[in-house]
Amino acid sequence: MEDPVQVDDGVRRARARHPGIGVGVHLHNRNGFAPANALAELASGADWLESATAGLGGDLWFPGDRTVLVNMATEDLVHLLDSVGIATGVDLTRLRTAMRLVTETTS
């Protein structure tokens, strides 16, 4: 349920406390803040961001309930980063095709 201010603070504190270790963040979109949090995390020095294929995933506390806890979809993250000029090296068209196949297979 973190917001961009909270994740910015967390990444900055982790980087300050452990300057020699890469800091990464796993993105959930429970409150719709995943895109904003991703940008805040990068601005605060995160080395990597983790998303999930087609947003699939769950949580130990709410297994299978996608309305409660959803991971940020990889295709959304790549699209966001591309739109702000951050090169990912991922072909978004091919990624979306793959995600569509995954979604159809898991439905």
Q: Which sequence spans correspond to the domains of the chain? A: 4-106
pLDDT score, position 14: 95
Secondary structure percentages of the chain, helix, strand, coil, to 5: 50, 10, 40
Query: What pLDDT is recorded for position 50?
Result: 92
Residues of the chain with pLDDT under 50: none
Per-residue CA distances from 85 to 7, 43, 61, 97 (Å): 22, 13, 36, 22
Q: What is the pLDDT of residue 6?
A: 95
Instruction: Kindly report the pTM of this predicted structure.
Output: 0.81
Token pair listed for 15: 């980087």
Its CATH architecture, for the domain 4-106, is Alpha-Beta Barrel (3.20)
Place of tokens 């959304």: 76
User: For 73-95, how does the pLDDT look when each residue is reduced to its tens digit (9 = 90+)?
Assistant: 898 999 999 999 999 999 999 99
Angle between helix 92-106 and helix 74-83 axes, rounded to 10 deg: 160
